[in-house]
């Protein structure tokens, strides 16, 4: 097997991502090969980043995954969902507290070597969660819709990220989570089993996506906190 590929029951075990982590088995994609090239357009930028990391396997630094890596749960209970909804409810407040504790210089400090700055992370969270909210709405109203990934790494480089005050994105996250949590609390058991199709990850249940974004908020809040404690 070529260096940098990892098989699990004949498939690639993917640990996603540099910024927004999920875990799934899928067919082998090797960086630089024709197969990888033909599918790269459908892969979120963080998946491509991950494959580059795996082509040079090293121990993952703690700064990258301060709350641990994420893996999609196979089964989910009502208690699990309640815990994750509570975490999503708390994300705006906790991210705001972490963000407002930073000085202007700290806002432009990467949370780890080669990582995003705190400012990029703060603007990224509502952008990511807007996509998650829309994916919930699509899955609740359509039969296994195929969602469109986005190049989050490129979004983070757009000029509005450095130009926009962080309060704009913190307020956006407040309003977004208000709407999102209202929806989450009204969903039925059948709703949680509805799915969307990710072009790379395949079918994702909404209860699994809930787990991912509960983790995602804690993940990035910890990144911002780590800058203050460094």
pLDDT (tens digit, 9 = 90+) per residue, 2-47? 333 333 333 333 333 433 433 333 333 333 333 333 344 444 444 4
**Could you tell me the pLDDT band of residue 61, with boundaries at 50, 70 and 90?**
low
Query: Rounded distance, CA 46 to CA 152, Å?
Result: 7
Query: According to the model, what pLDDT value does residue 62 have?
Result: 79
The answer to whether domain 78-229 has CATH 3.50.50.60 is no
Phi, psi of 139 (to 5 degrees): -65, -30
Structure tokens at 105: 């210089």
For the chain, what are the domain ranges?
Answer: 78-229
Rounded-to-integer distance, Cα 12 and Cα 25, Å: 5
- φ/ψ of residue 49, rounded to 5: -60, -40
Residue pair 65/219 in contact (Cβ under 8 Å)? The answer is yes
Helix intervals (H) in 108-205: 118-141, 152-155, 159-163, 166-186, 189-192
Weakest-pLDDT range from 44-53, 114-123, 149-158: 44-53
pTM of the model: 0.76
Beta strands in the chain (DSSP E): 7-8, 11-16, 22-26, 195-198, 202-205
């Amino acid at each position: 097997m070529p260096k940098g590929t990892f098989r699990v029951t004949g498939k690639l075990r993917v640990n996603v991502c540099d910024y927004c982590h999920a875990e799934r088995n899928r067919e082998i994609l090797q960086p630089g090969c024709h197969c990888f090239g033909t599918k790269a357009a459908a892969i979120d930028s963080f998946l491509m980043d991950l494959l580059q990391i795996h082509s040079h396997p090293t121990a993952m630094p703690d700064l990258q995954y301060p709350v641990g890596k994420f893996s999609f749960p196979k089964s989910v209970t009502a208690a699990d969902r309640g815990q994750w909804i509570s975490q999503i409810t708390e994300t705006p407040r906790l991210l705001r507290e972490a963000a407002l504790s930073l000085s202007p210089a700290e806002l432009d400090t990467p949370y780890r070597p080669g990582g995003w700055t705190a400012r990029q992370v703060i603007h990224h969270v509502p952008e990511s969660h807007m996509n998650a909210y829309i994916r919930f709405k699509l899955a609740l109203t359509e039969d296994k819709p195929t969602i469109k990934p986005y190049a989050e790494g490129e979004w983070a480089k757009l000029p509005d990220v450095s130009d926009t005050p962080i309060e704009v994105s913190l307020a956006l996250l407040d309003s977004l989570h208000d709407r999102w949590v209202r929806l989450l609390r009204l969903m039925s058991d059948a709703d949680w089993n509805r799915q969307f199709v990710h072009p790379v990850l395949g079918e994702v249940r909404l209860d699994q996506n809930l787990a991912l974004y509960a983790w995602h908020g804690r993940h990035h809040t910890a990144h911002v906190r780590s800058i203050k404690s460094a």
